[in-house]
Amino acid sequence: MPPSSPFLQAADIQALMRAEHGDPFAVLGPHETADGLEVRALMPGARQVAVVHSRTGWPLSILARHEGSDLFSGLVPAAEARMGYSFQVDWETGHASRLEDPYRFPFVLGETDVWLLAEGTHLRPWERLGAHLREIDGVKGVAFAVWAPNARRVSVVGDFNNWDGRRHMMRLRRECGVWEIFAPHVATGDSYEFEILSARGEVLRKADPFAFSSQLRPGTACVVAPLPAPVPMPAGRAEANAHGAPISVYEVHLGSWRRKHHGQEWLDYRELADTLVPYVRDMGFTHIELLPITEHPFDGSWGYQPIGLYAPTSRFGTPGDFRHFVEAAHAAGLGVILDWVPAHFPTDAHGLGNFDGTALYEYADPREGFHNDWQTLIFNYARTEVRNYLVGNALYWLERYGVDGLRVDAVASMLYRDYSRKAGEWVPNAQGGRENLEAIDFLRRMNRVVGVERPGAVTIAEESTSFPGVTRPPEDGGLGFHYKWNMGWMNDTLAYAGTDPVYRKHHHQQITFGLMYAHSENFVLPLSHDEVVHGKGSMIGRMPGDEWQKFAGLRNLYGYLWAYPGKKLLFMGGEFAQYAEWNADRGLDWHLLEHAGHQGVRRLVRDLNNVYQHFPALHELDHEGAGFEWLVHDDVAQSVFAFVRRARDGGVVVVVCNFTPVPRHDYRLGVPVAGSYREVINTDGVVYGGSGVGNGVVESSPVGWHGKSDSIVISVPPLATLMWVVA
């Protein structure tokens, strides 16, 4: 019979056996008693447990089993045990193993970490929470820590303990609500989850919110992986993200760009590094934007319902493979932007919802915490710990993978409490208004932290309302984003482009109206994945007319996009006029490039990118009124528009757009300076599949027109955009 101890009660033993003990460190491990140093171990399935010296293996004691339990205890020589001890376990299965005692190791979290986590100001919570490879007292293992303040008990379970919640019950650091334990022998590649006993007695199995790697669905476990090393931000990468830089983004869903094995399998991150990266570079784009690559359970969400915000999805490989992809992009001179989703998360049982048996990460009231449109949960931005989790996550991708920017999804849904809700279905803020003040505070803090800790990186808001100051600094009352998607421009432009040319004169303002606010924010002009799904068809499918007019209309749309003030974004497939609506379950229709019309569109996009980067007038003053001037905005009858783009040094590009299928010959156009004008882009060029109406080089004459002292006379091709520079 093992020695009695005032610290070891029958209730403790029963609580341990039922995995209900909330303070296992108070019972298990080494403890001073009146009789000496007593070691206690809970070993379900053990036949005998001996204590041996860690270094020499010499036996120190054979522990006795407490009757009717799997608890073993016994006195050990104090001096030898304090130098380090292990367990020699003989199992009922007949095999034996040498184990370290997780309950003999000290705290995982330092006092400063506890303070900052409790305060919600830990800039890098991922350096402490989650699963971290550690070596303590010469023993290798993993330090686990998870925030679950309302749980009665938390255990880490995995292959290393037969998924038995009694084997690694964790210690609660009450000051910050974090449970922790150092688990010896656990190593890279081991699967794990957290088993949580809620206050109501529910046993929950949860994925680690800070997991660096995860199993591929339908698996739900996390995978121990090293914390990626920091990646410096080279000056060139920061310059490539600047407001005056040419930014042309190729938006990609990795699972459907290309596929292998007859379309049945995805390319992995390394294969994408070898194929996607050189393709994007050859096409002249400056950045790749990836639909969310954070771990998600459902393929059909395209990543927009994430569960593992700190883990690159295992669909395409390991975290190391993803890092290789980013490095390959940077080596090719490309920036990498990730779509990032801090607006909501799915209700899957192993996810963040009801994490410790309470609404921990989400608002408790469904009028605040549930998205009816998406059937997802909304982050509780009022909790400092939740804001800290999300702000830390933004910094994590920028610092630890070296990505260049984050495009923040569904910002409008975060800003307004009544987003997509009827009267009576939402809760006003503390001031009685509709704005989500906590979410606004979170976004400002996130952008402020990114600006200070990762200068040169950018954040981009997908924000579809007229919320003021999205790209103004927080200190000036703004949200602090670097760029905002121009959803108004996109909607108006696509509506106009989809209108039969004969009726476009009645919709002239859809083109001109955008210039009323074009410089109110730092805009990105998006033709994104959202515009080619859910029955909207493809880009070329939106164009009216016969096949020739469809191709000409699409080329015209792209010429207009690349000439208009704002950074550019085009979803994959659009660059070669994909006919079919995007389907995430199959690859793009690359065979279309066997046809000249599709080849022509792709060549045009490449040339547009090259011209856009070569002439500062097309990008340098994107966000300043001085960079744009109308020449023709009132030619309603002919649906012709003309404008000037300017650079800081006075350089100009003159742009003419004809949105009808009728060529306009002998069209006199005022020009900003006298001289010879050379076409650098003509979307009607034969090489692009057009009719070949063009001008080459024309000389201006001193004939006043459109408010200018000089003018040129040109032929404006049908459904085409021309760009001119002074020769």
Tell me, what's the pLDDT at 7?
58
Tell me, what's the pLDDT at 235?
85
- Spatial separation of the C-alpha atoms in residues 144 and 141, rounded to whole Å: 10
Q: What would the two tokens of residue 182 be?
A: 């150092």
Q: Which of 355, 39, 29 shows the shortest CA–CA distance to 181?
A: 29
Q: H or E stretch including 571?
A: strand 567-571
State what percent of residues in the chain have pLDDT above 90.
95
| 3-state SS assignment for residue 22 | coil
β-pair type (458-461, 483-485):
parallel
Mean of pLDDT over the chain: 96
Phi-psi label, residue 154: left if phi above 0, alpha if psi -120 to 50, beta otherwise: beta
DSSP class of 705: B
- Spatial separation of the C-alpha atoms in residues 241 and 403, rounded to whole Å: 11
Instruction: State the amino acid at position 234 in one-letter form.
Output: P
The residues near 264 (Cβ < 8 Å, ≥ 6 apart) are none
In the predicted structure, residue 39 carries a pLDDT above the cut 80: yes
List the catalytic residue out of 80, 268, 289, 462: 462
Q: How far is CA 566 from CA 246, 460, 676, in A?
A: 9, 13, 27
pLDDT band at 426 (very low <50, low <70, confident <90, very high): very high
Q: Which of 111, 179, 99 shows the shortest CA–CA distance to 139?
A: 99
- Angle, CA of 64, 47 and 14, to the nearest 5°: 60
Tell me, what's the pLDDT at 55?
87
Mean pLDDT, rounded, for 113-132: 96
The residues near 236 (Cβ < 8 Å, ≥ 6 apart) are none
Over residues 518-544, the pLDDT tens digits come to 999 999 999 999 999 999 999 999 999
- Spatial separation of the C-alpha atoms in residues 114 and 702, rounded to whole Å: 75
Q: What would the two tokens of residue 371 be?
A: 């998205």
- Angle, CA of 530, 401 and 406, to the nearest 5°: 30
pLDDT band at 586 (very low <50, low <70, confident <90, very high): very high
Q: Which of 406, 237, 459 shows the shortest CA–CA distance to 332?
A: 237
- Spatial separation of the C-alpha atoms in residues 149 and 180, rounded to whole Å: 12
Mean pLDDT, rounded, for 324-329: 98
Instruction: State the amino acid at position 572 in one-letter form.
Output: M
Q: Which of 243, 246, 245, 208 shows the shortest CA–CA distance to 224?
A: 208
Q: Which of 559, 388, 411 shows the shortest CA–CA distance to 471?
A: 411
Tell me, what's the pLDDT at 477?
93
- Spatial separation of the C-alpha atoms in residues 287 and 241, rounded to whole Å: 9
- Spatial separation of the C-alpha atoms in residues 400 and 443, rounded to whole Å: 21
In the predicted structure, residue 275 carries a pLDDT above the cut 90: yes
Mean pLDDT, rounded, for 651-672: 97
| 3-state SS assignment for residue 261 | coil
Q: Does the active-site annotation cover 462? A: yes
Question: Do 3 and 33 contact (CB within 8 A), yes or no?
Answer: yes
Over residues 242-269, the pLDDT tens digits come to 999 999 999 999 999 999 998 889 999 9
DSSP of 39-84: EEEE-TTEEEEEEEETTT--EEEEEEEPTTSSEEEEEE-HHHHHT-
In the predicted structure, residue 721 carries a pLDDT above the cut 60: yes
Tell me, what's the pLDDT at 722?
98
Q: Is the dihedral of CA 706, 708, 709, 714 positive or negative?
A: negative
In the predicted structure, residue 675 carries a pLDDT above the cut 60: yes
Q: What would the two tokens of residue 265 be?
A: 């399998």
Task: Say whether the peptide bond before residue 24 is cis (omega within 30 degrees of 0).
Answer: no
- Spatial separation of the C-alpha atoms in residues 669 and 722, rounded to whole Å: 12
Q: Tell me which residue has tokens 């009858």.
A: 637
- Spatial separation of the C-alpha atoms in residues 626 and 616, rounded to whole Å: 13
pLDDT band at 4 (very low <50, low <70, confident <90, very high): very low
Q: What would the two tokens of residue 178 be?
A: 């974090």
**CB crowding 238-257: b at 16 or more within 10 Å, else e:** bebbebbbbbbbbbbbbbbb
Tell me, what's the pLDDT at 5?
53
Question: Do 719 and 684 contact (CB within 8 A), yes or no?
Answer: yes
Q: How far apart are the first and last CA of the chain?
A: 100
Tell me, what's the pLDDT at 332?
97
DSSP class of 372: T
Mean pLDDT, rounded, for 396-407: 98
- Spatial separation of the C-alpha atoms in residues 535 and 226, rounded to whole Å: 43
pLDDT band at 1 (very low <50, low <70, confident <90, very high): very low
Over residues 690-718, the pLDDT tens digits come to 999 999 999 999 999 999 999 999 999 99
Mean pLDDT, rounded, for 228-252: 94
What structural domains and CATH numbers belong to the chain? 10-101 (2.60.40.10), 111-223 (2.60.40.10)
In the predicted structure, residue 3 carries a pLDDT above the cut 60: no
Q: Which of 259, 404, 227 shows the shortest CA–CA distance to 329?
A: 404
Over residues 446-466, the pLDDT tens digits come to 999 999 999 999 999 999 999
Tell me, what's the pLDDT at 236?
87
Q: Which of 453, 523, 451 shows the shortest CA–CA distance to 493?
A: 523
DSSP class of 353: T
Q: Tell me which residue has tokens 């190391």.
A: 320
Alpha helices in 260-379 (DSSP H): 269-282, 319-331, 366-369
- Spatial separation of the C-alpha atoms in residues 188 and 309, rounded to whole Å: 19
Question: Do 125 and 202 contact (CB within 8 A), yes or no?
Answer: no
Q: Is the dihedral of CA 40, 45, 47, 50 positive or negative?
A: negative
- Spatial separation of the C-alpha atoms in residues 27 and 7, rounded to whole Å: 7
